[in-house]
Amino acid sequence: MRCAEIGSGGGFYTAALAARLGPGGLLVALDPAAHDPRARRRAGPGATTVHVAGDGHALPFASASLDALLYSYSLEEMSDKRSALAEAGRVLRPGGQLVLFLWRPLTSRRRRTSALTALRTLDDGFTLLRADRGLQNLRLAYGKR
């Protein structure tokens, strides 16, 4: 399985994601600050993990090359959420999974509304598989058609 974590930051989810993918998997932890030493210290067993400096607006992957993408509280940080989601659609293979963790009350209403509005662009090529609402976040999973 080939997966990318977009906005991996200090690696809070990276080790758990690598463990979930298991040996033989590949996890690309993409973040503008890929040199963050905290992320590398949190690496654990499981998938091979590669830290790459990059931006969610121009993903460094071939079209239909990934099985899964995780946006760990990073979509709200992107200036053009629609183009970021279009990139997700480009790099995911049919049947691939897009997982989004979004802040709920902690982001400004404008930024949260912008992220939720951008999600409507997924209606054409994705199916909502799961939606969980916590006190502080939304956890959404989409399957690419």
Task: Look at 124 and 142; give whichever has higher pLDDT.
Answer: 142
Label residue 111 by pLDDT band (50, 70, 90).
Answer: low
- Residue 38 has a pLDDT of 57
> Are 112 and 131 a contacting pair, CB within 8 Å?
no
pLDDT (tens digit per residue) in 40-63: 555 567 999 988 999 899 999 999
Residue type, 37: P
| Structural domains of the chain in order of their starting residue, each with its CATH number | 2-144 (3.40.50.150)
Whether pLDDT at 138 is above 80: yes
Whether pLDDT at 37 is above 70: no
Q: Spell out where 32-144 has E strands.
A: 48-53, 66-72, 92-103, 126-133, 137-144
pLDDT (tens digit per residue) in 74-84: 998 888 999 99
> If you average pLDDT over every residue of the chain, what do you get?
87
pTM as predicted: 0.87
- Residue 120 has a pLDDT of 86
User: Mean pLDDT across the stretch 62-91?
Assistant: 94
Neighbours of 52 (CB within 10 A): 14
Whether pLDDT at 34 is above 90: no
